[in-house]
Amino acid sequence: MNSSFNLHQFIEARKAALSSGKPLDAVLLELQGGSPLDLLENLGRHFHYPIRWLEGLGKLQVDLNLMPISDCRRFSAAVVMDGNETWLLFSDPVNEELTLWAERHAIPYAQRVLVLQSSLTRLLTDLESTTNALSGVLDEGFAEKQLVDSIEEISLSRIDETSSQVIRLVNSTLYDALGAAASDIHLEATAQGLVVKYRIDGVIVHVASLSGVQFNEQVISRIKVMSELDITERRTPQDGRFKVRIRERDIDFRVSIMPSVFGEDAVIRILDKDHLSSKMAGLTLDYLGFNPEPMAVIRKLAAQPYGMLLITGPTGSGKTTTLYAAITEINDGKSKIITIEDPVEYQVAGVLQIPVNERKGLSFARGLRSILRHDPDKIMVGEIRDGETAQIAIQAALTGHLVFSTIHANNVFDVLGRFEHMGVDPYTFVSALNGIVAQRLVRVYCTVCRGSGCPECRGTGYKGRKAIGECLIMDDEMRDLIASRASIRKIKEAAKERGIQFLRESAEELLRNGLTSQAEIDRVTFARE
């Protein structure tokens, strides 16, 4: 088949395929010749759908909860998971019945991806043979789970059964946000209705605008009911949480409701601990995508017998994840590791993790004091944000403990000022300090569209992030400079002599290598002074 697509031939072939029961691609190939891959590319181009060549894509997980096998057969389609993505695979680009089905069954945001019918049939046949073998085992496990678990379960079949449009909307949004690997769901009331946004890879992405003012009140009420909040209270902020079971996992959601001009806004933070813990189990510094140099520095600093390692950066720069990675790497069972965190974000096996509880009087400072009486070797303090915590952390480092912590600052040099501002004597500070790493997460181009935007990246052009780091390592001379309150300019020069790579330089390197855009590096790092 040549590159200009012949619509007339397509329609004839589709008729023939439907009446004969042969796969559409087989009929088209018979008629027009060419290779199956050429055909798929032409179909995708003509009907404006992203395509997938299924052969060799072994890791696709067909989700039969979302689309039962009978419907897969009926529409010659399937819903599959690839990592965090949900795709609706389909082989007939003009099947209106399928479009209706997808709308009814609440997979509003699944990416539609065109595939060849014969490839899809092979995928389903393979699946059926393995599913049948397993079905007995699965049913048993399921029955047991039902008995012990009273948490509300959200599955697509249940979303469909629910008669209330609002409950269906809330449930399908939770379901979809999880599939999109969003960290937060933002529901914003507007003059026209409700806007749904997700935070994905640290950036807000617009998902849907629902017109109808009744929506925002009803949706917010539904979320309040789920979080056991006061439905009648609409003028003051409220915080709550709820838990639901989605895709065989219990997921916690933390809710913040805020009054606004047009009603109330809600932000729902997704706390998917199971998922994070399993991700964290294999979490190492390599996983974060650091360049070799900062990674080697963090490893070296984390392997010291005592002293303090600080990670700095703004909110959402991945500081805590880096600390978890470092702790996971040194967690060999030979030393006692204790953490105090607000909140405990990931559970690390073999590590005693204490959540801060300000209401019950357990602050970072108080928790840290108690930890020191608990015979630790290595301590992680989630964040240093007051002078008291800073002082105790430094004392701990000076008395033979390895202390990890994060602090909110723009770069490694700002950290020095932050500690001084908290009333810490610079001499004591540098005596305890092994090094400071400032980090950022830079979004990198989607590997499918290379930045132009496609369904894979929800039109943003970016998919995934890479960590960049700026490391200030202490040596005697550097300690002297800081303790004697040398100017930041002098300290920077000394750091330069030691080969420090500034954040902006690392960001520019990503740009030069074609991995990200100027706008993205400007978003995460300041232009160099």
Stretch that binds Zn ion, among 97-105, 246-254, 364-372, 443-451 (CB under 5 A): 443-451
Residue among 454, 500, 511, 515 that touches Zn ion (CB under 5 A) = 454
Closest CA to 146 of 245, 241, 63: 245
**Strand 153-154 to 184-189 pairing:** unpaired
Q: How far is CA 450 from CA 92, 457, 467, 468, 508, in A?
A: 27, 10, 19, 20, 18
- How far are the Cα atoms of 12, 176, 428 from residue 393, in angstroms, in the given order? 75, 42, 11
7 burial via Cβ count (<10 Å: 0-12, 13-18, 19+): exposed
Of 56-64, 336-344, 422-430, 456-464, the segment contacting Zn ion by CB under 5 A is 456-464
**Contact call for residue 457 and Zn ion (CB under 5 A):** yes
Q: Which two three-digit tokens encode residue 45?
A: 């181009």
Cβ closer to Zn ion: 456 or 520? 456
Instruction: Please state the closest distance from residue 95 (CB atom) to Zn ion, in A.
Output: 25
Residue 301 CB: number of other CB atoms within 10 A?
24
- Regarding 456 and contact with Zn ion (CB under 5 A), the answer is yes
Q: Which is nearer to Zn ion, 120 or 449 (CB)?
A: 449
Please identify, among the stretches 239-247, 297-305, 350-358, 452-460, the one whose residues bind Zn ion according to the rule CB under 5 A: 452-460
* Min separation Cβ 448 and Zn ion, Å: 5
Query: Which one, of 23, 24, 43, 29, lies nearest residue 1 by Cα?
Result: 29
Residue 200 lies near Zn ion (rule: CB under 5 A): no
Stretch binding Zn ion (CB under 5 A), from 53-61, 170-178, 237-245, 454-462: 454-462
By CB under 5 A, the count of residues binding Zn ion is: 6
Report in angstroms how near the CB of residue 450 gets to Zn ion at its nearest. 8
Beta carbons of 386 and 365 less than 8 angstroms apart: yes
CA distances from 427 to 310, 424, 473, 481, 488 (A): 16, 9, 16, 10, 16
Encoded amino acid at 257, one letter? I
Residue of the chain from 368, 403, 446, 521 that contacts Zn ion (CB under 5 A): 446
- Reference 209, options 223, 225, 196, 191; nearest CA is 196
DSSP-derived 3-state class of residue 111 = strand
The residue from 31, 64, 448, 486 that contacts Zn ion (CB under 5 A) is 448
Using rule CB under 5 A, residue 449 touches Zn ion: yes
Interhelix angle 24-32/36-47, rounded to 10 degrees, is: 110
Question: 383, 415 in Cβ contact below 8 A?
Answer: no
Nearest-approach distance from CB 168 to Zn ion, in angstroms: 29
Nearest distance from C-beta of residue 207 to Zn ion, angstroms = 16
Binding to Zn ion by CB under 5 A, coded x per residue (else -) over 402-441, reads: ----------------------------------------
Q: Which stretch binds Zn ion (CB under 5 A): 189-197, 240-248, 367-375, 449-457?
A: 449-457
Q: In this complex, which beta carbon is closest to Zn ion, that of residue 29 or of residue 446? A: 446
Q: Which residue is nearest to Zn ion (CB)?
A: 446
Q: Which residues are near Zn ion by CB under 5 A?
A: 446, 448-449, 454, 456-457
